[in-house]
Structure 1
Amino acid sequence: MRDRILDAVERMLIAGGADAVRLDAVAAEAGVSKGGLLHHFGSKRALVEGVLDRLVERFEAELPPPGSPPGAFTRAWLEATIPAADVPADDGFDRVSVALLAGVSGGPEVLDALRRRYELWQRRIAGDGLDPATATLVRLAVDGWWLARLLDLAPPHDDLHREVRARLSALIPEGE
């Protein structure tokens, strides 16, 4: 039931933003009673935190462990977040966008949790065996791309999408 509820919250965040996430609406979208919802999540903030935590876990599962070849973490960051082909941002849910939306809409505590996670990820990026400035440049470019996709701020499409992604990828030497 927990995953069904979080799936519903993700859909609602994508469709209507944080304002769409109301306990009654989430219960109806998930097909559960309000009491069942409250058993797992006592507040809107708990729902948003649950979405963010689950997405972070899924994202981290795609990242290589410490001690991987140089550039592996930075390359995985790019590959886990920017598709090789240009697809609509909501194609199968844009999980990165949902995480960003959840982080910024969940209030200061949720945003602080996302910030702490980013601090850890940035340390991994900077210590990935590449020039730290280049690795950070890739992370910042990818994060900007996410924001462009999330807010539909003229993200690159078609050939430009592929070319920009290829240039970012070229900044990351192949691991040994």
Structure 2
Amino acid sequence: MANSKRKLLLEAASAIIMEQGIRRLTLEEVAARAGVSKGGLLYHFASKDELIKGLNEETIREFRELLQQALEETGSYTKSYLLATVRQLEGLGHYNASSSMLAAIATNMDLIQLWEDDYQRFRSEMTKRGFRLRLA
């Protein structure tokens, strides 16, 4: 039950950012959108910063799940990465990477480290599979 409320709150936060913009992301707005009391929200996320961190962590976790599913389908890591990206953009996941990153950039640049760490995992996996990635 607690996990479903947490998920509901994160989905509400993502939707608010995408529909109304980052300035409308308040704990009160998220709680109302999720149909949870503000106290219920604070049980899961003690602050807006924690909410945004949770949103970023869950977006990355969900992408990794989409990537694993695609890898089982295609057998190709590169194709799977692209397929998982498209699926997330198409809304097949619960969270929107754009909303998560926007929230991190707008409120706490330190959270971008989560994305940098995930990108390094991607680069490492590609290197293990024989690909060389170069930044132009």
- On the 8 A contact 1:27/1:33 being kept in 2, the answer is yes
Given candidates 26, 34, 38, the residue that maps to 2:38 is 34
The residue type paired with residue 118 of structure 1 is Y
Question: In structure 2, what is the Cα distance between the partners aligned to 1:90 and 1:60?
Answer: 16
Structure 2: runs of 5 or more not aligned: none
Greater CA radius of gyration, 1 or 2?
1
Paired position in structure 2 for 1:17: 21
- On the 8 A contact 1:17/1:101 being kept in 2, the answer is no
Alpha carbons of 1:103 and 1:125: their partners in 2 closer, same or farther (altered >3 Å)?
A: farther
What is the correspondence of 1:109-120 to structure 2 with a 5 Å cutoff? 109-120=110-121
Q: TM-score, normalised by structure 1?
A: 0.61
Return structure 1 stretches of 4+ with deviation > 4 angstroms: 89-94
Structure 1: runs of 5 or more not aligned: 84-88, 141-176
Q: Deviations over 1:72-110 (max 9, x none)?
A: 221111111136xxxxx6766773323432442341221
Given candidates 7, 10, 16, the residue that maps to 1:3 is 7
Higher helix share: 2
Q: TM-score, normalised by structure 2?
A: 0.76
Paired position in structure 2 for 1:77: 81
- On the 8 A contact 1:49/1:106 being kept in 2, the answer is no
Q: CA RMSD in A?
A: 2.8
Paired position in structure 1 for 2:106: 105
Question: In structure 1, what is the Cα distance between the partners aligned to 2:121 and 2:106?
Answer: 21
Percent identity, aligned pairs only, is 29
Given candidates 43, 47, 68, the residue that maps to 1:43 is 47
- On the 8 A contact 2:11/2:95 being kept in 1, the answer is no
Alpha carbons of 1:64 and 1:90: their partners in 2 closer, same or farther (altered >3 Å)?
A: closer
For the residue of structure 1 that corresponds to 2:67, the secondary structure is: coil
Equivalences, count: 126
Question: In structure 2, what is the Cα distance between the partners aligned to 1:107 and 1:72?
Answer: 35
Paired position in structure 2 for 1:63: 67
Offset of residue 53 of structure 1:
1.1
Paired position in structure 1 for 2:124: 123
Alpha carbons of 1:104 and 1:7: their partners in 2 closer, same or farther (altered >3 Å)?
A: same
Alpha carbons of 1:106 and 1:113: their partners in 2 closer, same or farther (altered >3 Å)?
A: farther
